[in-house]
Structure 1
């Protein structure tokens, strides 16, 4: 096991052989607040963490359970350890999907969502797709889908500091997990 990354908390993390105890919310919040959505093609910096916060808040507005809200906050957490690829590239690298899925399952397990149901995952995917649509609409003036998806509240697509997004991410995590 020599293939590791060194995380923000100085943890040696093995993304291909993840150890649940090595997953730290501080690493996830920090890394995602520094990673851009849309591979950097939006008109200004908009982070994966800010997207995740928006998803979490949308789930709350829809009246979804705290589990689904937490799932929304963490749905892209694997990217903090393995980055992300654009959808056209990812579709052509099936091994990436396997790595991402295995890591995401360990992350969910680490934070009490190891038994997440298909119904809960469908709610998370629905929120994620809605945010995706409105992010592209707001930050690129492009409508990705023919039919405008449901969204229950206005979202914040403004450019924010890394630190403020990281702090909000950690705050929401603390509220949802009562830590």
Structure 2
């Protein structure tokens, strides 16, 4: 068995030695639209793709740059190639962090975000944590933070068809990426 996965678009993708040209937004959008958040432990199916779209919307509502908005949309893109682990497990597997960081870095490079500043990365992380809090509060009735983080807008966490999430993800990406390049 080789060290590759076969993607939705039938590309042999090597997650440990990623080739930038093999990274396709269609593969990312499709995979993330079918991948559940919090290992599926929420009240209904809620995908990483839906989370990513809401992160983009939150960044936009805060008036963050289009670079940060795009960064928010694709911040979990590595998961489409290597899946994800829960935070308690992930923090005990430094090798996973290294693999994830390398892959996410190649993905950011692929889409023109390889030079994100520390401030832009902090904005993306803050948006991600904000959504995490409200996802848990809404979908699991369990707030993550004692003091709810400030949010720029209200978010809808209802059940969505994966195809609509996939299509919206690609549409948002194309709009932002075309403006950036």
What TM bracket, shorter-length normalisation?
A: over 0.9
Q: Name the CA distance, whole Å, in 2 between partners of 1:92 and 1:63.
A: 35
Where does residue 14 of structure 1 map in the other structure?
14
CA RMSD of aligned residues (A): 1.0
* 1:166 counterpart = 2:177: no
The CA distance in 2 between the partners of 1:32 and 1:78, in whole Å, is 10
Report what 1:112 is aligned to.
Answer: 112
The residue correspondences of 1:8-157 to structure 2 (distance < 5 A) are 8-157=8-157
Shift, 1:104, TM fit: 0.1
Other structure's SS at 1:145 match: coil
Return the TM-score normalized by structure 1: 0.98
What secondary structure sits across from 1:178 in the alignment?
Answer: helix
Question: Following TM superposition, by how much is the alpha carbon of 1:155 offset from its aligned partner in structure 2, in angstroms?
Answer: 0.7
Runs in 1 of length 4+ with deviation above 4 angstroms?
Answer: none
| SS of match in other structure, 1:172 | helix
For 1:4 and 1:118, how far apart are their aligned partners in 2?
Answer: 32
Q: TM-score, normalised by structure 2?
A: 0.97
Q: How far off its partner does 1:2 sit?
A: 2.6
Q: CA deviation at 1:16?
A: 0.2
Q: Distance in 2 between matches of 1:105 and 1:44?
A: 31
Deviation, structure 1 residue 178: 1.8
SS of corresponding position for 1:150: coil
Structure 2, unaligned stretches of length 5 or more? none
Shift of 1:152: 1.1
Q: Report the CA distance between 1:156 and its aligned residue.
A: 1.5
Query: Which whole-Å CA distance do the structure 1 matches of 2:75 and 2:45 have between them?
Result: 20
Structure 1, residues 4-53: CA drift from partner, whole Å, max 9, x if none? 00000000000000000000000000000000001000000000000000
Aligned partners of 2:72, 2:26: CA distance in 1, in Å?
A: 17
